[in-house]
Amino acid sequence: MRRAFAALALAATASAQGMKIQISGAERARYKIAAPRPLGDADLAAELEDALAMDFRMVGLFDVLDPRGFLAKLDVEGMGIAAPDWTSVGAQGVIKARVTRVGGDAALEARFYEVARPLAPAVERTDRAAVADVRRLAHRFANDVYRHLTGEDGPFLTRILYVRPSGRAKDIVAVDVDGHRPTVLVANGADNVLPAWAPGGDRIAWTSLLWLNPDLFEARLGARPRRLSRHAGLNIGAAFSPDGRTIALTLSKDGNAEIYLVRAADGEILARLTDHPGIDASPSFSPDGAQLAFVSNRQGSPQIWVMPASGGAAKRVTFQGNYNQSPRFSPRSDVSQIAFTGRDERGRFDVFVLDLAAGTTQRVTQNQGDNWEPTWAPGGRLLAFASSRGGIWVATPDGQHQAQIVKGAAETPVWSPMRK
């Protein structure tokens, strides 16, 4: 728990109506949620309970209470709640669910109660999915609860693309944010790197050495890939514009790495955005599509620069550290933040967040191995990154909450757009 607000400000006035005082400076705390084992089919209930707990733990806004401490008589309560039993263990919200098998499907009935208003559920859902997709039932309900509590779309149905080394090759894999359901999207015996999601989440682009040159490929999910850009030299670091029509891409066809804008439909070059003897790479669009962040070593060391997405003068935005790379604009339109990988004076790589308006840099990771390649969750409340600790981790931008979501070797994670 941490004090997020200024300390005491207090004034007292005595009047004919009695005394009036002002109190300020509440401490901030995570929302305490209880998700006891659902009723119904035991196997499905265990899977559902695990998925709900993982979802709420991952986002860093909730304390998921330990079921061993529950006082409620769950069999007597059924789908309702006896508020005093939940108040006693500190729960502010309780999830009650029943999951049963209907043919090859899992049928879910779920309720979320606010303990302060126990008489009627605040959120209800009846849902159905194939038995193999029982975790998706949990994610859909967790999204409902998240929306009810925050007013924002939840990230629980989103997926993360990443590169998985596989023998002498590298594959591209998509995984649910709870680390389940890994799906190999690209495996062709060659190195496939630097994947990117298109804004709709139905298409990806990546660079592959399949034809021995680092060419840009693109594919709709489940469809045959096609080569989108195959200029001699690099065709790497694709970033889709927010409208999905163009891709910012690093090409080295003229000898030096420069950033170009190409048409997403056919890969035709629309504009050359940078023109400098230094290396320019790793473009990332701002959420309104007006700006482009990228890495350039034009002043000696790799630093983050920002320029208009239509081309024009670039402005250096990082001045601390001598090796800053992989910038990613936050998807939040109300702030102007860029997450990036920086190498500190001890030679460790860590994740940082730069606030463009304030000109300040916040450190996200420290003393936890090396951490690279941050990617924002849609909504901008979480970052995911690869770590030398292994796999993919998520963290809140203040670094106070971290959780591992993918185990094993994993590189360059890219969070999908919002999915419902």
List binders of other proteins among 354-413 (CB under 8 A): 361-368, 389, 395, 398-404
Where do we find the tokens 């919002």? Answer: 418
Nearer to other proteins, 10 or 42 (CB): 10
Alpha-carbon gap, residue 94 to 287, rounded angstroms: 35
Of 81, 97, 149, 173, the residue at the interface with other proteins (CB under 8 A) is: 149
Of 43, 78, 90, 126, the residue at the interface with other proteins (CB under 8 A) is: 90
Stretch in the footprint of other proteins (CB under 8 A) among 60-68, 162-170, 224-232, 266-274: 60-68
Of 61, 169, 190, 193, the residue at the interface with other proteins (CB under 8 A) is: 61
Nearer to other proteins, 142 or 262 (CB): 142
Nearest distance from C-beta of residue 329 to other proteins, angstroms = 19
Stretch in the footprint of other proteins (CB under 8 A) among 3-11, 42-50, 173-181, 251-259: 3-11
SS3 298: coil
Of 37, 46, 50, 63, the residue at the interface with other proteins (CB under 8 A) is: 63
Nearer to other proteins, 89 or 219 (CB): 89
Count of residues that interact with other proteins, criterion CB under 8 A:
76
Nearest distance from C-beta of residue 410 to other proteins, angstroms = 17
Q: By CB under 8 A, what part of segment 328-347 binds other proteins?
A: 334, 342-345
Token pair for 60? 């860093």
- CB contact at 8 A, 317 and 361: no
Buried b (16+ CB within 10 A) or exposed e, 219-257: beeeeebeebbebeebbbbbbbbbebebbbbbbbbeeeb
Nearest distance from C-beta of residue 19 to other proteins, angstroms = 5
DSSP-derived letter for residue 69 is G
Q: By CB under 8 A, what part of segment 272-291 binds other proteins?
A: none
Nearer to other proteins, 69 or 78 (CB): 69
- CB contact at 8 A, 84 and 71: no
DSSP-derived letter for residue 117 is B
Nearer to other proteins, 239 or 351 (CB): 351
Token pair for 50? 């695990």
Alpha-carbon gap, residue 186 to 161, rounded angstroms: 11
- CB contact at 8 A, 330 and 290: no
Alpha-carbon gap, residue 308 to 303, rounded angstroms: 17
- CB contact at 8 A, 176 and 384: no
Nearest distance from C-beta of residue 82 to other proteins, angstroms = 10
Rounded (10°) angle between helices 134-150 and 42-58? 40
Q: By CB under 8 A, what part of segment 192-251 binds other proteins?
A: none
Q: By CB under 8 A, what part of segment 297-326 binds other proteins?
A: 319-322
Of 74, 89, 169, 269, the residue at the interface with other proteins (CB under 8 A) is: 89
Alpha-carbon gap, residue 319 to 364, rounded angstroms: 17
Alpha-carbon gap, residue 420 to 324, rounded angstroms: 34
Q: By CB under 8 A, what part of segment 19-38 binds other proteins?
A: 19-32
Q: By CB under 8 A, what part of segment 152-191 binds other proteins?
A: none
Alpha-carbon gap, residue 167 to 189, rounded angstroms: 9
Nearest distance from C-beta of residue 85 to other proteins, angstroms = 7
Where do we find the tokens 């998700």? Answer: 35
Q: By CB under 8 A, what part of segment 95-124 binds other proteins?
A: 114, 116
Nearer to other proteins, 255 or 367 (CB): 367
Nearer to other proteins, 277 or 369 (CB): 369
Nearer to other proteins, 225 or 342 (CB): 342
Nearest distance from C-beta of residue 291 to other proteins, angstroms = 22
Calculate the CA dihedral of residues 398, 402, 406, 407 and round it to 10 degrees: 130
Alpha-carbon gap, residue 132 to 166, rounded angstroms: 26
For residue 120, count other CB atoms closer than 10 A to its CB.
Answer: 10
